[in-house]
Amino acid sequence: AQSVTQLGSHVSVSEGALVLLRCNYSSSVPPYLFWYVQYPNQGLQLLLKYTSAATLVKGINDFEAEFKKSETSFHLTKPSAHMSDAAEYFCAVTYYNQGGKLIFGQGTELSVKP
């Protein structure tokens, strides 16, 4: 079955440190991959997406992610964490014949320490 795994339900970093949130998907067909961010009591906001173009994808707020087919991964990174980055992050996948139905990972809560 197709699935998404986010390693680590909670990640804590210091302000200014590198942010790395891990996402792996399982599928033998080419995926479309997404990262969404959710701030408390709000909806999901798209950070970035991979749709079979460049493997290194840049998103909003200096986030980026790299699609690695050999590792079936789509890890999210940011060079320097800000306090405002504290939120829940979701990785999601869909495929060309799925009508846009997303399969979500369980989410990673990012905490940023001053």
Partner 1 sequence: DAGITQSPRYKITETGRQVTLMCHQTWSHSYMFWYRQDLGHGLRLIYYSAAADITDKGEVPDGYVVSRSKTENFPLTLESATRSQTSVYFCASRADGSGNTIYFGEGSWLTVV
Q: Residue 107 is encoded by which pair of tokens? A: 């989410």
- Say how far apart CA 52 and CA 84 lie, in whole Å: 30
Q: Would you say 41 or 70 has its CB closer to partner 1?
A: 41
Nearer to partner 1 among residue 21 and residue 92 (C-beta): 92
Residue 6 and residue 106 in contact, taking contact as beta carbons nearer than 8 Å = yes
Among 43, 56, 70, 114, binds partner 1 (CB under 8 A): 43
- The token duo for 73 is 């991964």
Answer for the pair 104, 92: CB distance below 8 angstroms, yes or no.
Answer: yes
Residue 67 within binding range of partner 1, rule CB under 8 A: no
**Is 90 one of the binding residues for partner 1 (CB under 8 A)?**
yes
Give yes or no for residue 34 binding partner 1 (CB under 8 A). Answer: yes
Quick check: 51 binds partner 1 (CB under 8 A)?
Answer: yes
